[in-house]
């Protein structure tokens, strides 16, 4: 069964938030229980960042034990390295899937570690933007999908330096084709890439197979400069760049199989995030697809 048939089986999760181990323990962190109680329309699901060696923290465990919708966002696998998917790691993944019952798996498709995997490494570099790298990543996606029985959605990661002859969006278009998979487009990460490479925010959107895009991410970022080098840091604050909003609002109308949107603001007080949630929701309401509501 091809992806265009499989995608019809994926649930519509709506607008949700992300977390990772310990993210909710800070004094000013987002209270996901409070968010769901006061604004359930902004907490349709929880995207849980997972390192197998750490498992779930109390917030994530409480959410999943309540049977609430979630997704599994991996933080510890390089999809293009076959040796990463060893049996001990896969056993851990399957065990967590049994506890979480996620709608699908997803994660930044880059390098989470360099050399042997180690707990807490979380390096996260972008992939090499070549056709060969896209084929290797596709093989990893296919294997992980077969090992888990879940859709595996690769996400465009952030970065300050990119190597290869393909535009980032062309790279992921090829991954989608080679792996027969859906995609997760992170609008904040894409804004960073476009600016770093001197492109306009919406450059190359036409190369993406938008019917394959299942999930979108939006997050804030910090602009900085060091010794004459200007950069953008993906910091998950509510300060969303205009470039990111432009990308998000250009993408939503193009998608036909969008199932989920995540506002990555997990370490910020609820009141600071409401304006962003509202803007995300307004765009979705204006371009709602069949079944979204």
Number of H helices, E strands in the chain: 9, 10
pLDDT at 289 (0 to 100): 61
Distance CA 225, CA 23 (A): 27
Which pLDDT score is estimated for 257?
95
Domains of the chain: 11-286 (3.20.20.150)
Most confident of 18-27, 192-201, 223-232: 192-201
Residue 232: φ, ψ to 5°? -125, 130
DSSP conformation class of 27: T
Beta strand 46-50 with 14-20 is parallel
136-185 pLDDT, tens digit per residue, is 999 999 999 999 999 999 999 999 889 999 999 999 999 999 999 999 99
Give the integer Cα–Cα distance in Å for 125 and 80: 13
Q: What is the pLDDT of residue 121?
A: 73
| Mean pLDDT, residues 108-126 taken together | 84
Q: What is the pLDDT of residue 239?
A: 93
Question: In the structure encoding, which two tokens stand for residue 168, read together?
Answer: 């980032």
């Amino acid at each position: 069964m091809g992806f265009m048939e499989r995608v019809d089986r994926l649930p519509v999760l709506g607008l949700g938030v992300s977390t990772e181990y310990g993210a909710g323990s800070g004094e000013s962190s987002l209270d996901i229980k409070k968010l769901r109680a006061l604004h359930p329309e902004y907490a349709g699901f929880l995207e849980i960042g997972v390192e197998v060696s750490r498992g779930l923290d109390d917030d994530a465990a409480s959410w999943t034990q309540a049977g609430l919708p979630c997704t599994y966002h991996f933080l510890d696998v390089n999809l293009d390295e076959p040796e990463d998917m060893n049996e001990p790691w896969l056993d851990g993944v399957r065990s967590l899937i049994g506890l979480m019952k996620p709608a699908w798996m997803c994660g930044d498709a880059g390098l989470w570690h360099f050399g042997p995997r180690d707990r807490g490494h979380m390096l996260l570099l972008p992939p090499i933007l070549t056709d060969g790298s896209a084929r290797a990543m596709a093989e990893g996606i296919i294997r992980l999908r077969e090992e888990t029985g879940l859709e595996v959605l690769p996400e465009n990661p952030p970065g300050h330096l990119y190597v290869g002859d393909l535009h980032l969006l062309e790279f992921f278009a090829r991954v989608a084709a080679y792996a027969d998979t859906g995609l997760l487009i992170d609008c904040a990460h894409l804004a960073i890439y476009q600016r770093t490479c001197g492109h306009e925010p919406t450059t190359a959107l036409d190369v993406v197979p938008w019917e394959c895009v299942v999930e979108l991410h939006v997050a804030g970022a910090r602009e900085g400069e060091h010794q004459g080098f200007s950069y953008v840091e993906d910091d998950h604050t509510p300060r969303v760049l205009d470039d990111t909003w432009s990308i998000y609002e250009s993408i939503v109308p193009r998608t036909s199989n969008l199932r989920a949107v995540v506002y990555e603001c997990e370490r910020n007080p609820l009141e600071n995030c409401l304006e962003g949630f509202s803007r995300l929701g307004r765009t979705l309401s204006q371009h709602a697809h069949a079944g979204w509501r």
